[in-house]
């Protein structure tokens, strides 16, 4: 199977809602990185984790290498959170990306 | 702040023409990557490099060459561009964490 499976592929939220994205890995990964791709196409790094949990404002990410997954939680969604979110993880000297989650935040 | 710079940012080429996309990084990272991203899709790896003089094939290398003449520079070369290579191309450097350039939009007519 694919090294990285990301879900959901698409997500629609109203402003103020909370939700989560998830990446499952087919094998043990050493780290994970989460990106947001904004409306201009720019890839913005949100988190880089080798283990545990990190928070930044309304965003929180967890990486569990042993259980082979990572999550990105968005709290109190805002319009500017709209975009596509990707996770990426290294394995065998390669970086593998999930297919992305398209997030639309509606007023 | 790690910096990856791509040029050109926009390019229109004709079918059969040669296109070179350049990437420069000031991070002193050994690993560099070229991806393409098509509308509604994720990133697909074309070529990557472990350091100066090294180039490796990624998942979709056909129709592309790569060159890594120095630690800082990694180029993607389309010797005979085709319309199917119309896409947005991203370069990245990596030392555990990926740092992306701003992307190069290529249109092949």
Q: Do B96 and A99 touch (CB under 8 A)?
A: no
How far lies B16's CA from each of B21, B47, B83, B89, in Å?
16, 21, 9, 19
What's the CATH number of domain B4-108, 3.20.20.120, 3.20.20.70, 3.40.50.970, 2.60.40.10?
A: 2.60.40.10
Res B2: pLDDT: 59
Structure-token match 């991806």, residue found: B35
Q: How many angstroms away from the CA of B66 is the closest CA of chain A?
A: 16
Residue B1 in contact with partner chain A when CB distance is under 8 A:
no
Cβ atoms within 10 Å of A2's Cβ, excluding its own? 12
Res A92: pLDDT: 77
Residues 5-34 of A with CB under 8 A from B: 31, 33
- A contact test, residue of B5, B9, B37, B91 with most A CBs within 10 A: B37
Res A62: pLDDT: 98
Q: Give the CATH number of the domain where residue A52 resides.
A: 2.60.40.10
Residue of B nearest to A42 (CA): B102
Residue of B nearest to A43 (CA): B100
Q: How many angstroms away from the CA of A61 is the closest CA of chain B?
A: 15
Res A46: pLDDT: 94
User: At a CB cut-off of 8 Å and minimum separation 6, what does A97 contact?
Assistant: A4, A86, A87, A88, B42, B43
Res A78: pLDDT: 97
Closest Cβ–Cβ partner in B48, B58, B102 for A42: B102
Q: What is the pLDDT along chain B (109 residues), one digit of tens a residue?
A: 559 999 999 999 999 999 999 999 999 999 999 999 998 778 999 999 999 999 999 989 999 999 999 999 999 999 999 999 999 999 999 988 889 999 999 999 9
Residue B98 in contact with partner chain A when CB distance is under 8 A:
yes
Q: Do B103 and A100 touch (CB under 8 A)?
A: no
- B contact test, residue of A21, A43, A98 with most B CBs within 10 A: A43
Q: What residues does each domain of chain B span?
A: 4-108
Res B1: pLDDT: 59
Q: How far apart are CA B44 and CA B92, in angstroms?
A: 12
How far lies B94's CA from each of A20, A55, B34, in Å?
27, 22, 12
Q: Which domain holds residue A78?
A: 4-106
Closest CA to B101 of B1, B7, B28: B7
pLDDT band at A91 (very low <50, low <70, confident <90, very high): confident
Q: How far apart are CA B109 and CA B105, in angstroms?
A: 13
pLDDT band at A103 (very low <50, low <70, confident <90, very high): very high
Q: Any idea what DSSP says for residue B2?
A: -
Tell me the per-residue pLDDT of A55-76, one tens digit each, with 9 for 90 and over.
Answer: 999 999 999 999 999 999 999 9
How many pairs of residues across A and B have Cβ atoms under 8 Å apart?
40
Tell me the per-residue pLDDT of A4-45, one tens digit each, with 9 for 90 and over.
Answer: 999 999 999 999 999 999 999 999 999 999 999 988 888 999
* Total domains, chain A: 1
């Amino acid at each position: 199977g694919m090294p990285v499976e990301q879900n959901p592929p698409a997500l629609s939220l109203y402003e103020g809602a909370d939700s989560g994205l998830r990446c499952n890995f087919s094998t043990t990964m050493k780290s994970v990185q989460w990106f947001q791709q904004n409306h201009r196409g720019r890839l913005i790094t949100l988190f880089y984790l080798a283990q545990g949990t990190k928070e930044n404002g309304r965003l929180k990410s967890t990486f569990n290498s042993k259980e082979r997954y990572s999550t990105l939680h968005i709290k109190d969604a805002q319009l500017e959170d709209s975009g596509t979110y990707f996770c990426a993880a290294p394995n065998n000297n390669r970086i593998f990306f999930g297919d992305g989650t398209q997030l639309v935040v509606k007023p | 702040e790690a910096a990856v710079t791509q040029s050109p940012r926009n390019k229109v080429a004709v079918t059969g023409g040669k296109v070179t996309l350049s990437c420069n990084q000031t991070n002193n990272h050994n690993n560099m990557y070229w991806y393409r991203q098509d509308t509604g899709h994720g990133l697909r790896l074309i070529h990557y490099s472990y350091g100066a003089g090294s180039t490796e094939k990624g998942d979709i290398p056909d129709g592309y060459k790569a060159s890594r003449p120095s630690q800082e520079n990694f180029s993607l070369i389309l010797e005979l561009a085709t319309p199917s290579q119309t896409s947005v191309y991203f370069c990245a450097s990596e030392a555990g964490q990926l740092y992306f350039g701003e992307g190069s939009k290529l249109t092949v007519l």
